[in-house]
Amino acid sequence: MAIGDMPAGIALEDVTKVYVAGATNVVALDGASCRISAGKFTAIVGPSGSGKTTLLNLIGGIDEPTSGRVIVGDRDIWGLSDDDLSRFRRTEIGFVFQFFNLLSGLTAEENVALPLLLDGHSMKGCFERARALLEMVGLEDRRGHLPDQLSGGESQRVAIARALAADPPNILADEPTGNLDTTASEQVLGLLRRTVDELNRTLIVVTHNDSVAALADEVITLSDGVLTTRAGSSGSLKPA
């Protein structure tokens, strides 16, 4: 089904994703259609195996749909060339993972600067940006520490700073509090909320935690690969 004329930051149109596992086809998403508003915090909720991470990876340009369209801004990202898709991932998407994915041999500052260094920016500019972001997440005094010298909450705040390094309009977070205690979770969620309220980012968070979803502006619920509800506290997410 077509999404219609209502503008959306991100849209899925009849998206199906099937994984082949030997002689078995696993349907991770089955004809999903939805709109995700730009500049909002959207939570994707559902039990394990419901297709949440698959949906996130399709939006982030990691997994390609079996059929259907994934539109970010005004482009079907799976119609892009390989070079343009790679550029899209580097410049328009910031990823935050449950287990942080920091490089163990690099300091916090180096982990944040690395995406910019790999994209060819000047070393001075990269480290100035990294220091500013670490200050924003409250870790300026930890910038010289290696990941194994940081707590889980500190590591996730470094990961958020890294996700913001290239100034992407979209932040995708997969269970960002799943490996944290209550206090660290609250700090991380506060930071993620700030990326929406103060930096005007579009934030999409995969979670199984109802308390995380309660902070979202919009909620997408998945069950067995089927998008079953689209509702949020703002009431702005409508059926496709």
* Predicted TM-score of the model (pTM): 0.88
Phi, psi (rounded to 5 degrees) for 52: -65, -50
Query: At residue 239, does pLDDT exceed 60?
Result: no
Q: With 50 as the cut, is the pLDDT of residue 4 above it?
A: no
Residue 237: which pLDDT band, with cuts at 50, 70 and 90? very low
Average of per-residue pLDDT across 90-104: 93
Q: Is the predicted pLDDT of residue 236 greater than 50, yes or no?
A: no
Angle formed at CA 54 by CA 206 and CA 169, multiple of 5 degrees: 60
Q: What element of type H or E holds 203? A: strand 202-207
Quote the CA–CA distance of 140 and 218 in Å, as a whole number.
Answer: 32
User: What angle in degrees, to the nearest 10, is found between the helix axes of 123-136 and 152-164?
Assistant: 130
Could you tell me the pLDDT band of residue 232, with boundaries at 50, 70 and 90? low
The DSSP line for 180-203 is S-HHHHHHHHHHHHHHHHTT--EE
For residue 215, what are its two tokens?
A: 């902070």
Q: Which residue do the tokens 């994984």 mark?
A: 19
Token readout for 114 is 């690395």
Provide the 10 A C-beta neighbour count for residue 197.
11
Structure tokens at 93: 């998407």
- Residues 56-69: what's their mean pLDDT? 95
- Per residue in 115-134, pLDDT (tens digit) is 999 888 999 999 999 999 99
* pLDDT over threshold 70, residue 58: yes
Task: Supply the pLDDT for residue 240.
Answer: 36
**49 vs 78 pLDDT, higher one:** 78
Sort 65 into a burial class: Cβ within 10 Å, 0-12 / 13-18 / 19+. Answer: buried
- What are the tokens at 7? 């503008």
